[in-house]
Every structure is written in C-alpha cells, then in structure tokens.
Structure 1
Amino acid sequence: MRNALVLDGVIAECGVLRRTPAGMPVLEFSLEHVSRQIEAGIEREVRCEVSVLALGDAALSAQARRPGDKVTLTGFLAARSARHKGLVMHVNTIEILEGN
C-alpha cells in the first residue's frame, strides 16, 4: 500500500529538539502550505497547516530551520499516537527552497 507525501511550504512553528529514551533525536514543527489545485475541473486555492515529526538525521536537519524558511518535505502520514488518530507528517527528507 502507498503512503507517500511531498509538500512545499513555510515553517510556521518549530519545537525544541529532544531525544527518545533510546537517544534518537526528535523534532516537531508545523508547516504552512498554500497552493492552487484543480478539483472537479475548477481551480481553487488550498491553505493548510500540517503537523510534522522528524526523527534521526531528519530531526537534526530540521533543527537548523527557522520559522519563515521555505522547504520541501518528503515523508509519509501516520496517526499522532495509538490514542490520538489525528494525522502527522513524518519527514524523511527536508530540502531548502530558494528565497530563504
């Protein structure tokens, strides 16, 4: 089954780097996305804010980013936790976009 996401946007908020009990770096942040999409043959503006979780090397890379930075994120969607089914984007790679 597929679960892949590529999303451009601007970092809205950035948390503080922490570590799991096993020592894995973890960073949570949010991404503001704005684009134009075609839906049912009609162009519309799409705006959303996405919760993002980065682990390991992705967390270390995200730590250098600041609110206002333009980025492309690649990753997948997962539930926030076993108890909270809200979606969170888990990041595999972070690409810095020009204009930062």
Structure 2
Amino acid sequence: MNQLQFVGLITEREAIRYTPAGMPIVNALLQHSSQQMEAGIARLTEFEIAALAAGEISGRFSQVPLGGIYEFTGFLAKKSRNSSRLVFHIIDFRPANVGQHLDTGA
C-alpha cells in the first residue's frame, strides 16, 4: 500500500498548468512539523515535500490560500520515470481540525 496522510502548510504553489493531454496540474511545496513518539521518546519531525494536485482537485487546490493548514491524503511517486526524487500526489485535502496542530517553528 502506498498512502500518506499528514497535516501540512502550503508554503509555495505554482499557477495551474495543463499537460499536453489537457490535464490540469498544480505544483506546490508543503511543510510539516510535529512531535511523534518513537521508542518512548518524543521526537520532533519536520519535512518539506514537493507535491502536485492533478485533475479535478487541482482547481480547488489552486484556490486555497498560501499558508493554509490542511490535512492531506495522497501517495508518493517518482517525479519522473528516470528520477529518484519523490513527489507527493494529493488525492484529497481538507482544512485541519482544530485539535490538530502544526508547529511551524515560528
């Protein structure tokens, strides 16, 4: 199974573009920061990840404000056939619940 779910902040987002086949795509950069328990010890986890929203969800994603905190669901795939870099493909997103917290380090 290849599924990833996390709460993240939209730090960068490009304008919507279209593939040669006419599919809309929006590229973005998402940031996550949280505290996780590992082996009984609290650990700060932080990452930035390249992301994209393709198809129907790209229109909705392109309209939300930068800096917004959302719960993202999607999967990881290589950026291209010949690349080893991973990109998070957004399948769905929604505003993060009040009980969820993203520590942006500020």
> TM-score, with normalisation over the residues of structure 2?
0.86
Report the Cα distance in structure 2 between the residues aligned to 1:58 and 1:6, rounded to whole angstroms.
16
Q: CA deviation at 1:98?
A: 5.8
Task: Name the Cα RMSD after superposition.
Answer: 1.3
| Amino acid aligned to 1:88 | V
Q: Is the 8 A contact 1:14 1:66 kept in 2?
A: no
The one-letter amino acid paired with 1:69 is: G
Does 2:56 match 1:92? Answer: no
Tell me the secondary structure at the aligned position of residue 81 of structure 1.
Answer: coil
Aligned to 2:27: 28
Deviations 1:61-81 (A, max 9, x none): 110122211111101000111
Q: Percent identity?
A: 36
Gaps of 5+ in 1: none
Q: Which one-letter code corresponds to 1:90 in the other structure?
A: H
* One-letter amino acid of the structure 2 residue matched with residue 17 of structure 1: I
Distance 1:91 1:7 in 2: 11
Query: What displacement does 1:7 show?
Result: 1.2
Could you tell me which residue of structure 2 aligns to residue 5 of structure 1? 4
Unaligned runs of 5+ in 2: 99-106
User: For the residues of structure 2 that align with 1:58 and 1:41, how far apart are their CA atoms?
Assistant: 38
Q: Is the 8 A contact 1:61 1:94 kept in 2?
A: no
Provide the secondary structure at the position in 2 that maps to 1:61.
helix
Runs of 4+ in 1 over 6 A off after TM superposition: none
- SS for the counterpart of 1:85 is coil
- What is residue 14 of structure 1 aligned with on the other side? 13
Give the length in aligned residue pairs.
Answer: 98
Residue 82 of structure 1 aligns to a residue whose secondary structure is coil
Q: Does 1:56 align with 2:76?
A: no
